[in-house]
Every structure is written in structure tokens, then in C-alpha cells.
Amino acid sequence: MATVADFARWMQQKISDDGMLYHRDAVQGIRDQFGEEFIYIKKSGNPAIYEDVLEEFRQLTEHSVVWEPGQLRWREAKPGDPRGLRQAD
């Protein structure tokens, strides 16, 4: 059975391989590889990733990944990103 850490490491590896990971692809990856126990449907009808998975992912990628809300994706941190930034415009 997959754990929160397994999925967080999967997300980290996808970003390492591709330079980014769109939220929709992360959700689909959960469904395909881990089942649906780590996702839920928000009131808006959109799928979301449970907070405990995201917290584990944040801890793994504290200085290496940022979230771009306008693109709905995580990406590798760039040299010009402020240190400790977790979200980019």
C-alpha cells in the first residue's frame, strides 16, 4: 500500500525529470499509480490533493520547487527566485 511519502517522492521525481508538474497531471498520476485515497473532490467539483501529501512534498522540496498558481503547476526553483520562496507569480 502506498504512503503519503511515496506520492510526495513521486511528485518530486516527476519535477526532477520534467522540470515541472501540473496539478491535473499530479491528480491523474495518483489515480493511475496509487488509487484515489490521496485525492478528494472540492466543493467546486475540482479534484485536489490531500494536505498531508502536500505537506510531505513541501518538506522534501523546501528549497528546490515553487508553486505557480496562475499555471496550476509546480516547477523547479530558478536561481533568480528569492530564497525560501514557495510560490511564484
Q: Write out pLDDT tens, residues 16-42.
A: 999 999 999 999 998 888 888 889 999
Say if pTM beats, i.e. exceeds, 0.75: yes
Angle formed by the axes of helices 4-18 and 51-60, nearest 10°: 50
Run of H or E residues at 57: helix 51-60
Question: Exposure string (b/e) for 31-48, b if CB count within 10 Å is 16 or more?
Answer: eeebeeebbeeeeeeebe
Q: Which of 6, 1, 2, 7 is nearest to 49 (CA)?
A: 7
pLDDT at 15 over 70: yes
